[in-house]
Amino acid sequence: MASESFNPFKMAQQQFDAVAEKLGLDQATRDFLRTPCREYHFNIPIRMDDGSYKVYRGFRVQHSDARGPAKGGIRFHPQETIDTVKALAMWMTWKTAVVDIPLGGGKGGVICDPHNLSMREQEAICRGWVRQIARNVGPLQDVPAPDVMTTGQHMLWMLDEYETITGFKSPGFITGKPIGMGGSLARPEATGYGAIFTLREALKEKGIDIGKTTASFQGFGNVSQFAIDLYTQYGGKAIAVSSWDQKEQKSFTFRRKSGIDMKELLGITNRFGEIDRIKAVELGFEVLPGEDWIDQEVDILVPAALENQVNAQTAPQIHSSVKFIVEGANGPTTPEADEIIKKKNIWMIPDFLANAGGVTCSYFEQVQCNMNFFWTKEEVLTRLDNKMTEAYHATSELAQKRNVYMRDAAYMISISRVAEAVKMRGWV
């Protein structure tokens, strides 16, 4: 989230500018790609359950549609800001480009806290969001999806409102829909599993047996839950995970050195990914301060919460045992922290590569909706694995060939692809 000292959009621009310079990109293309093509800000008036009225602020940013319709999630968060949404939209452009799917980058958000809203009020916000933006989104323009604190249910309400307005069934308008309602099997797993597919490849490349590794995770939302699931299925040992506590308004780290089992932990977790501290102690977990996920003696760190978590203050605390960082979240690491990580010689699998599994599966969801024919879970996961593996190796090869940081290599691939589309269309 943006604050006085941290602005994610400035960070996204800083990352872009550095690589644009390396690529020798011309000025017009730089000017075009360092800002969003379009951004919408609007009011969403809602009648609350108690009969009062409240006005929520909504956004949709379309950073780029050069390679296809804009694509990206919608976040519900009390600290949402337009600059966060702009940064996330830009990162979506690089994400769809690095896995080479025919989509652009967008993002949306509403400043609200679903913790304090009934389901009916949340439904009203979803429908209100669509009413404000229906003319400017759609299967051929801009396709939303779930993100922080939004789910398949929210997507379905949004789809229903869109179809009511247009008068047509348009399942390709939105992705991350529930199974049986136009959703794809394996979409819930896709982001977390995708991140672990890239980690698996990185470990293979470095000749490390995943079964002998340990990992610490930040966050216990959708991405982290499935990342832990697949990582442990592969034989890795997850020893720590942090999770937000709404009542305390801070996070805690749950550590069990004998290992974490995702399903067991899910049994004591609410729908927002908050782990019950008392029950965790009963299951043999130590409850530590939230920030302790980062200084654990492990091989792998997986920041899978929000942006600005690995920064100039926290990066020096990374234990000398850490060899890999897999960014499940969007923008968790600041450019200052990147410098520290480079010095520590840690292999970075950057966000828009590591967490591209979600949007890749969203693309498969659109394809299946267009065919009106749905694949088996195995088929979805095999295709996802192939895409992630291919994108990982293309990035890693470039990083090694040009001797650049993995984040820069991923940026070089994505920016080149988008810049080429912009040029070929004759835009700049």
Alpha carbon distance 225, 191 (integer Å): 10
CB of 126 to ligand GLU, least distance (A): 16
Give the number of other Cβ atoms within 10 Å of residue 49's Cβ: 12
- The nearer residue to ligand GLU, 93 or 362, going by C-beta atoms, is 362
CB of 231 to ligand GLU, least distance (A): 19
Query: Is 267 exposed, middle or buried, given 0-12, 13-18 or 19+ CB atoms closer than 10 A?
Result: exposed
- The nearer residue to ligand GLU, 148 or 239, going by C-beta atoms, is 148
CB of 175 to ligand GLU, least distance (A): 5
CB of 297 to ligand GLU, least distance (A): 30
107 catalytic, yes or no? yes
Residue nearest to ligand GLU (CB): 73
- The nearer residue to ligand GLU, 154 or 237, going by C-beta atoms, is 154
Maximum CA pair distance of the chain? Answer: 63
- The nearer residue to ligand GLU, 192 or 322, going by C-beta atoms, is 192
Contacting residues toward ligand GLU, per CB under 6 A: 71-73, 95, 145, 147, 175-176, 330, 355, 358-359, 362
Of residues 71, 95, 107, 177, which has the active-site annotation? 107
Closest CA to 404 of 417, 391, 395: 395
CB of 365 to ligand GLU, least distance (A): 8
Sheet with 142-146: list strands edge to edge: 38-47, 53-64, 105-111, 70-77, 142-146
- The nearer residue to ligand GLU, 329 or 412, going by C-beta atoms, is 329
**Residues near 28 by beta carbon (within 8 Å), at least 6 away in sequence:** 428
Closest CA to 177 of 192, 149, 157, 191: 157
Active-site amino acid positions: 107
